[in-house]
Amino acid sequence: MKTDTEASSPTDWDRPTIFYNEYVKWTVYLLIVLFAAWSYWEIRITPGRLLVGLEQSSQLMANAWPPDFTPERREMIWRDILETLAMAVIATIGGIILSVPVAILGSRNLVSERVFWIGRTIIATSRAFHALIIAIIVVKAVGFGPLAGIITLMIKTVGFFGKLLAEEIEDIDPTQLEAIEATGAGRFQTYFYAVVPQITQRFVALSIYRWDINLRSSAIVGIVGAGGIGQTLVASFDRFEYDFSAAIILVIIALVLLGEAVSAVARKRISTGAAGVETTPTRDAGRRTWNRFTRGQQLLRYGSVALVAGVIVISWRHLEMGIGVVRTAPAELYDLWTRMWPPSTGIVAEMVDPLLTSLHIAILGTVLAIALSIPTALIAADTTTPNRVTYTLGKLIVTTTRSVNVIIWVLVLVLLLGPGALAGVVAIGIRSVGFIGKLLAEAIEEIDMTQVEAMTATGASRLETAVYAIVPQVKPAFIGIATYRWDSNVRASTVIGFVGGGGIGSLLMSQINQFQWANAMTILIAILGIVLFSEVVSAYARKKVM
Amino acid sequence: MLETKNLEKVYQTGDRALDDVSVTLDGTEVVAMIGPSGAGKSTFIRCINRLVEPTSGDVWLDDVELTALSKPELQRERRNIGMVFQEYGLVERLTVMENVLSGRLGYVGFWQSLRRKFPPDAIEHAYETLERVGLRGYENKRVDALSGGQRQRVGIARAVLQRPKLLLVDEPTSSLDPETSHAVMELLAEIAVDTDVPVVINIHEVHLAEEFADRILGLSDGSLVFDGPPAELDEAAKTRVYQGATDSVEASRSTGESADDQLSQDELLTKNG
Ligand SMILES: Nc1ncnc2c1ncn2[C@@H]1O[C@H](COP(=O)(O)OP(=O)(O)OP(=O)(O)O)[C@@H](O)[C@H]1O
Ligand SMILES: [Mg+2]
């Protein structure tokens, strides 16, 4: 850190700033505040509207309670859940297989500079769009149903997995690579001897994690017709069967929590299992044979491969998809591409306004989330929570807000607050509370208490202690969490219009429904630009505070 | 036989790491290359198997011009050159046996290597070599569970398994304690005799070089400033290697590098004294 304020007088001290100077700093802050104020003005949030919403909510509660779990409804839900699960499984495995070559292309230490940029472009594009945007396009290309959902999730998996795997590959120890190369091993032998062992553990952990995420997504892509339980959910809203909606939402929450628990347990086992040394007894050292694995281990390995294959086959059969779709899907996607390119400029004037609305929604949603999540985190962290009751309340808020997707929040809030940007803002705010609250609470739990004690020992007050000992410890984590959430909120703000939450989503959907593909392309490019720009800004902010 | 002719390496950063180095190594010599940090020792070794591409000059191994080989030819020729790395260069998460057998990767097909199926004579050789380097019974331990000295022995075993025509060793002792260093050097010297190949060892500790080498090369700022048997490495020669700037003809050295060299000289003195 450097500062331009030269110490002309020893009695004068200013805290060095990470900005160039104080003026820049305050200008930046002022700009942020002004922008937020502008957003506030544009969305026109008034206490009156929120009050109406509160009134509506008791009405809705009455309609939605008790949830409709009658036998035929149960059967419907069960069928949809199986479809959702099957989609998540196939998409995860297929997506991971596709993402391995993409990750290799995107690893600077394995390929040439030009290939690297190709790989990274693929990754960045697939990451930039919300799953629902991809879904709505894929549905048009391959028709309604789970196949569209699977393709969508596979594309998203390639972005996520490709990026993290590439980062992992770039982090490997290069001398291990060189050493194998120096023995005269071939390119692929080098990959399998020097790269694979270094990344296996993380690879497995990431796969499980991605399955968890895909499960969440496969529960909502149905909203635009891409299969899974989301389809039934939207239908229930359209038919005003709110008690059925409530049942579905409860089941989705249960499914998401279950998926999360399974994934957490599995990842933990992997990380502890690898700490020990793998030893394989040689059967007969005298005969000087050597096998990497014993018979039992070998069987176990084949067994797990067979198990995975079995799950895929079962999932595939469950979805009743012919193998033919695999052959036709690429052609159809290509066909779509030819209709989208070149993008048309006719839509530009029309799209500026909804794009700005999307941005405002993202900004206000994030501000709202931050405002709500700080107290939530304080009561959900066991070091700062006043008592057991507040602690439980904090955990409850965090869990329920996190496990319901932002789109489902929009569906509910549109009923309460009417369609429009306000519902979107509140939905994003609520969804983000859980995310920021959870991670912030963890950061608070991890702070070094001796620093707090030391500050207390100087005779500082509680508030001073918080400002001097807690805030500096939590601040980098907080900025990191908030900016990551900002990134996902920007993406979310582009799709909440699909279900009436305002922003660019409704325009995009109408263009697609009218088959105005060239217009849709223009909108997609604009979204890509905004998402990438916001990502660059937030990455810069993170780098400054880390 | 290894021969380098006018070997030169200029890195993209502009560092001239090697400047006109010509040497010929024969038979079962143990050749120690000494020189201060940054003198270009590692660069020299890496230019031989072309982990680093030399800027100009030729490298010959027997009657093959290494510097003229295409990528696939080079890959095949690398099988004949064993290399031992400063930081071991082992694949940490594989077992000792897999690391040792990786010295045969150039001879087995991809699919075989994937299934860890190596020919019986390679496995036999691996067992013998593990015994040779004192690691009997360690074959199924994972490398990250070994000590530094043990890891370096695995690294040596891997190189031996290549049945190389030349062994390149880059600072085998820099991460080891003095006693282990001694043992590792002893092992390398014995292996040179046993397997009948020339060995080039980069090393910081001059007393180890004097003890184990048949011949010493002194590198200073990329140039060869000493070449002779240990007996000829007198104080004047050491000064020439480690403080080239003060009395040699090359006067164009940056101050930063001189400070570096001074440091190595100090290290050297403490280690010897
Ligand atoms: N990859 C590289 N890119 C740019 N310059 C390099 C690179 N590797 C080495 N150099 C430079 O080349 C010179 C010689 O480096 P080299 O590693 O060969 O020295 P060394 O004698 O092995 O030193 P040490 O005893 O510290 O290992 C140094 O000035 C170094 O900074
Ligand atoms: Mg070196």
Burial of residue A257 (CB within 10 Å: 0-12, 13-18, 19+) is: middle
Using a CB-CB distance cutoff of 8 angstroms, which residues of chain B are in contact with residue A279? 140-142
Write the CA distances from A444 to A366, A375, A487, B77, integer angstroms. 20, 12, 23, 57
pLDDT at B33 over 90: yes
Task: Work out how many domains chain B is built from and give that number.
Answer: 1
Nearest Cα to Cα of residue B188 among B84, B93, B53, B64: B84
Beta carbon of B11 within 6 Å of any ligand 1 atom: yes
Amino acid at B148: G
Q: Which residues pair with B168 in a beta bridge?
A: B83, B200
Residue with tokens 């196939």: A90
pLDDT at B270 over 50: no
Chain A: residue whose CA lies nearest to B117: A291
Q: How far apart are CA A206 and CA A191, in angstroms?
A: 19
Q: How far, in Å, from the CA of B208 to the mean position of ligand 2? A: 16
pLDDT at B202 over 90: yes
- The residues, ordered by sequence, that sit 6+ positions from A424 with a Cβ below 8 Å of its Cβ are A361, A365, A410, A413, A493, A496, A497, A501, A502, A503
Q: How far apart are CA A404 and CA B139, in angstroms?
A: 51
Q: How far, in Å, from the CA of B17 to the mean position of ligand 1? A: 6
What pLDDT, in 10s, does the model give residues B233-267?
888 888 888 876 444 434 333 333 444 444 444 44
Q: How far apart are CA A425 and CA A501, in angstroms?
A: 8
Token code pair at residue A460: 């500082």
- Residue A20 confidence (pLDDT): 66
Write the CA distances from A349 to A180, A325, A352, A360, A533, integer angstroms. 58, 39, 6, 18, 21
Residue with tokens 């331009």: A4
- Are B78 and A181 an interchain contact pair (Cβ–Cβ within 8 Å)? yes
Q: How far apart are CA A254 and CA A229, in angstroms?
A: 13
Highest mean pLDDT (candidates A231-240, A342-351, B5-14):
B5-14
Using a CB-CB distance cutoff of 8 angstroms, which residues of chain A are in contact with residue B95? 278, 280, 292
Q: Which A residues 513-542 touch B at CB under 8 Å? A: none
Smallest Cβ–Cβ distance between B98 and the set A198, A289, A292 belongs to A292
Amino acid at B161: L
Q: How far apart are CA A188 and CA A181, in angstroms?
A: 10
Rounded to the nearest 10 degrees, the angle between the axes of helix A113-128 and helix A71-105 is 160
Q: How far, in Å, from the CA of B156 to the mean position of ligand 1? A: 23
* Structure confidence at residue B22 as a pLDDT band (50, 70, 90): very high
Evaluated on CA atoms A330, A335, A341, A343, the torsion sign reads: negative
With DSSP H G I counted as helix, E B as strand and the rest as coil, what are the percentages for chain B, rounded to 5?
Answer: 45, 20, 30
Token code pair at residue A321: 């998809």
The answer, for A192 touching chain B at a CB cutoff of 8 Å, is yes
The mean pLDDT of chain B is: 84
Taking the CA of B36 as reference, the closest ligand is 1
Residue B87 in domain: yes
Specify the CATH number for the domain of residue B188.
3.40.50.300
pTM value surpassing 0.90? no
CA distance A182 to chain B (A): 6
Longest dimension (CA), chain A: 86
What pLDDT, in 10s, does the model give residues A9-48?
556 666 666 666 777 778 877 887 887 788 777 777 777 7
Span A211-225, mean pLDDT?
Answer: 89
Neighbour tally for A290: CB within 10 Å: 25
Side-chain-side CA neighbours of A243 within 13 Å: the count stands at 10
Q: Does residue B145 sit in helix, strand or coil?
A: helix
What pLDDT, in 10s, does the model give residues A466-515?
777 788 888 888 888 888 889 889 999 999 988 888 889 889 988 888 88
Percentage of chain B surpassing pLDDT 90? Answer: 44
Smallest Cβ–Cβ distance between A198 and the set B79, B89, B93 belongs to B93
The answer, for A186 touching chain B at a CB cutoff of 8 Å, is yes
- The residues, ordered by sequence, that sit 6+ positions from B167 with a Cβ below 8 Å of its Cβ are B81, B82, B83, B84, B159, B188, B191, B192, B195, B197, B198, B199, B200
What pLDDT, in 10s, does the model give residues B78-101?
999 999 988 888 888 888 998 999
Residue with tokens 């509506």: A56
Residue with tokens 């070091």: A383
- Residue A73 confidence (pLDDT): 81
Span A170-185, mean pLDDT?
Answer: 88
Residue B149 in domain: no
The atom number, within ligand 1, closest to the CA of B219 reads 21
Among B42, B263, B265, which residue has the most ligand 1 atoms within 8 Å of its CB, making it the best to mutate?
A: B42
Residue A434 contacts residue A396 (beta carbons within 8 Å): no
Beta carbon of B37 within 6 Å of any ligand 1 atom: yes
Beta carbon of B40 within 6 Å of any ligand 1 atom: yes
- Are B75 and A184 an interchain contact pair (Cβ–Cβ within 8 Å)? yes
Q: Does residue A1 sit in helix, strand or coil?
A: coil
Amino acid at A258: L
CA angle A64, A258, A312 (to 5 degrees): 115
* Structure confidence at residue B41 as a pLDDT band (50, 70, 90): very high
Q: Report the DSSP pairing between strands B30-34 and B199-202.
A: parallel
What pLDDT, in 10s, does the model give residues B48-76?
989 899 999 999 998 899 999 998 898 88
Beta carbon of B42 within 6 Å of any ligand 1 atom: yes
Residue B143 in domain: no
Amino acid at A354: P
CA distance A40 to chain B (A): 53
Using a CB-CB distance cutoff of 8 angstroms, which residues of chain A are in contact with residue B97? 290, 292
CA distance B130 to chain A (A): 12
Q: How far, in Å, from the CA of B41 to the mean position of ligand 2? A: 6
- Residue A50 confidence (pLDDT): 74
Q: How far, in Å, from the CA of B214 to the mean position of ligand 2? A: 21
- Residue A13 confidence (pLDDT): 65
Residue B174 in domain: yes
Does the N-terminal peptide bond of residue A342 adopt cis geometry, omega within 30 degrees of 0?
yes
Percentage of chain A surpassing pLDDT 90? Answer: 9
pLDDT at A68 over 50: yes
Neighbour tally for B135: CB within 10 Å: 19
- Residue A500 confidence (pLDDT): 85
Residue B19 in domain: yes
Using a CB-CB distance cutoff of 8 angstroms, which residues of chain A are in contact with residue B163? none
* 3-state secondary structure labels for all residues of A324-335: HHHHHHHHHHHH
Span A216-228, mean pLDDT?
Answer: 88
Which among A176, A187, A283 is the top mutation candidate for probing chain B, defined by the most B β-carbons within 10 Å of its own β-carbon?
Answer: A176
Using a CB-CB distance cutoff of 8 angstroms, which residues of chain B are in contact with residue A179? 83, 85, 89-91, 155, 158
Q: How far apart are CA A492 and CA A408, in angstroms?
A: 12
Residue A203 contacts residue A165 (beta carbons within 8 Å): yes
- Are A291 and B116 an interchain contact pair (Cβ–Cβ within 8 Å)? yes
Residue A164 contacts residue A210 (beta carbons within 8 Å): no
- Residue B255 confidence (pLDDT): 38
Smallest Cβ–Cβ distance between B123 and the set A175, A185, A288 belongs to A288
The mean pLDDT of chain A is: 82
CA angle A528, A534, A538 (to 5 degrees): 145
Token code pair at residue A544: 């400054």
Residue B115 in domain: no
Residue with tokens 């060892």: B201
Sequential DSSP letters for A214-261: HHHHHTTGGGGTSSSHHHHHHHHHHTT-HHHHHHHHHHHHHHHHHHHH
Q: How far apart are CA B30 and CA A218, in angstroms?
A: 65
Chain B: residue whose CA lies nearest to A201: B93
The atom number, within ligand 1, closest to the CA of B9 reads 12
H/E element holding A348? Answer: helix A348-380
Residue B194 in domain: yes
pLDDT at A104 over 70: yes
Residue with tokens 């937020």: A36
H/E element holding A487? Answer: helix A471-493
Beta carbon of B17 within 6 Å of any ligand 1 atom: yes
Beta carbon of B70 within 6 Å of any ligand 1 atom: no
Helices (H), chain B: 41-48, 71-78, 96-101, 110-114, 120-132, 148-161, 178-195, 206-212, 235-242, 244-247, 255-272
Amino acid at A443: A
The answer, for A240 touching chain B at a CB cutoff of 8 Å, is no
Does the N-terminal peptide bond of residue A66 adopt cis geometry, omega within 30 degrees of 0?
yes
Residue with tokens 């959910």: A233
Q: Which residues pair with B219 in a beta bridge?
A: B224
- The residues, ordered by sequence, that sit 6+ positions from A113 with a Cβ below 8 Å of its Cβ are none
Span A449-464, mean pLDDT?
Answer: 75
Amino acid at A210: R
Q: How far, in Å, from the CA of A243 to the mean position of ligand 1? A: 72
Q: How far apart are CA B72 and CA A369, in angstroms?
A: 58
- Are B78 and A184 an interchain contact pair (Cβ–Cβ within 8 Å)? yes
- Are A184 and B85 an interchain contact pair (Cβ–Cβ within 8 Å)? no
- Residue B43 confidence (pLDDT): 93
Nearest Cα to Cα of residue B26 among B234, B241, B196: B196
Q: Which residues pair with B202 in a beta bridge?
A: B33, B170
- The residues, ordered by sequence, that sit 6+ positions from B38 with a Cβ below 8 Å of its Cβ are B221, B257, B260
Q: What is the ipTM metric for this complex?
A: 0.76
Q: How far apart are CA B147 and CA B180, in angstroms?
A: 11
- The residues, ordered by sequence, that sit 6+ positions from A520 with a Cβ below 8 Å of its Cβ are A137, A340, A508, A511, A512
Residue B23 in domain: yes
Domain of B225? Answer: 2-92+161-267
